[in-house]
Amino acid sequence: MDDADRPTLAVWKFASCDGCQLTLLDCEDELLPLAGRVSISHFLEMSSAEGTGSRGPAGLEGAGPYDLSLVEGSITTDEDARRIRHIRGISRRLVTIGACATAGGVQALRNFADVAEFRSAVYARPEFVATLGTSTPISAHVPVDFELRGCPINRLQLLEVITAYLVGRRPNVPAHSVCYECKIRGTTCVTVAHGTPCLGPVTHAGCGAICPTYGRGCYGCFGPVADPNLESMIRQLGRDGMSELDVVRVFRTFNAAAPEYGPVPEIAEGLGTEEPQ
């Protein structure tokens, strides 16, 4: 297939650890066939070359247009907000990848505290650090065509998303919970068997139920399922020995800014006397 006939793919980074971008590079055997089907036009993790294009308006990277953009990371600065609007404008389809891009990431813990206090405690010259008071998902700023959850994402799910958009269909990424994956693997429920607190019932599948398979409760790396039953989940966590503070903290990890988890503090009230810090 000639370069001119191949769909163009761009990969972008915002506030994140790069782990989800590396998932694409870790595809190994699948990466070469993929590279033969698409033109990877912008991917600074892989190459410093801009591919299709020098600079866009106001000096923003990437001139586009791109058929598919994969976006990792959350919006944490005014510059981020300006960049994502530019990227949305030059992308036919935009897919967010990973917990940072879909739910604010670990850095969204700032949303529940005073970011100025954090900045002064961490940096010797905090006045030189420009940042927003919140870390928000990409969907809070621009329309998103699909969200791929995970910390990091599942490489097979990523390949499914890219393939789906190459052939013009909706990605087939299962929406069931981690509990379903435990059943498939034949893993004994750690909550039923041992009373271990586990977020599996309200967490999106994709990890293969790694933690329960090794006797640990799910930590919620893949974010919330659609319409999670938080009341039932939080009552169970309380029965398994978690206090109100414990419950709030366990939901404020990889997907701290997920709107589905917004009601957690109110629902958890009364499980214990401690207040989240």
Question: pLDDT tens digits for 73-114?
Answer: 999 999 999 999 999 999 999 999 999 999 999 999 999 999
pLDDT number for residue 48: 66
Rounded to whole angstroms, what are the CA distances from 113 to 42, 81, 198, 220, 272?
36, 21, 26, 22, 21
CB–CB of 53/80 below 8 Å?
no
Closest of 176, 173, 174, 177 to residue 163, by C-alpha: 173
pLDDT number for residue 242: 95
By mean pLDDT, which of 21-30, 143-152, 178-187, 207-216 is the weakest?
21-30
CA distance 114 to 159: 39
pLDDT number for residue 3: 63
Geometric angle at alpha carbon 104, from 98 and 109, rounded to 5° = 130
Q: Is the pLDDT of residue 1 over 90?
A: no
pLDDT number for residue 265: 95
Mean pLDDT, to the nearest integer, of 50-54?
A: 50
CB–CB of 84/72 below 8 Å?
no
The pTM is what? Answer: 0.89
Share of the chain above pLDDT 70, in %: 92
Residue 275 pLDDT grade (very low, low, confident, very high; cuts 50, 70, 90): very low
Rounded to whole angstroms, what are the CA distances from 67 to 3, 70, 90, 104, 260?
13, 10, 9, 25, 30
Share of the chain above pLDDT 90, in %: 75
Dihedral, CA of residue 54, residue 58, residue 63 and residue 67, to nearest 10: 150
Residue 276 pLDDT grade (very low, low, confident, very high; cuts 50, 70, 90): very low
